[in-house]
Amino acid sequence: MHDAQVFQSRDARGDRLALSYSTARESDDWTVISEENEPDRFEPASAYEQFLASYDYRAHRADEFQKIQTPYVSYAASGWANDSLLLISEVPNPAISVYQ
């Protein structure tokens, strides 16, 4: 696990909770590692994937985690607006994903 975030909300229908986490995995791309006085070496680059699950306190169980398909989400800019969870993706192409 690379990063995780808990989003808690209180709306007219009751308390809601969303959990998101990201994982790092090796991608098919390569990156160059340069160190002083050493020859450059190549290593697999890391790719990050994020997942999201919602939880309704009355349901007593969490939904299955779903992969977030948008670019990497900025947790600091994301949060609840009434009963909708807004996830803001990071630059260079900012986008808003809405989950209800």
Domain boundaries, the chain: 3-99
Residue 50 scores a pLDDT above 70? yes
Residue 64 scores a pLDDT above 70? yes
Give the Cα-Cα-Cα angle 1, 93, 74 (nearest 5 degrees). Answer: 35
Over residues 14-37, the pLDDT tens digits come to 677 788 888 887 778 888 888 888
In sequence order, the 6+-apart residues with CB closer than 8 A to the CB of 24 are 2, 46, 47, 48
Q: Is the pTM of this model over 0.75?
A: no
Closest CA to 73 of 24, 20, 18: 20
Banded model confidence at residue 13, pLDDT cuts 50, 70, 90: low
Quote the radius of gyration of the chain (alpha carbons, Å): 18
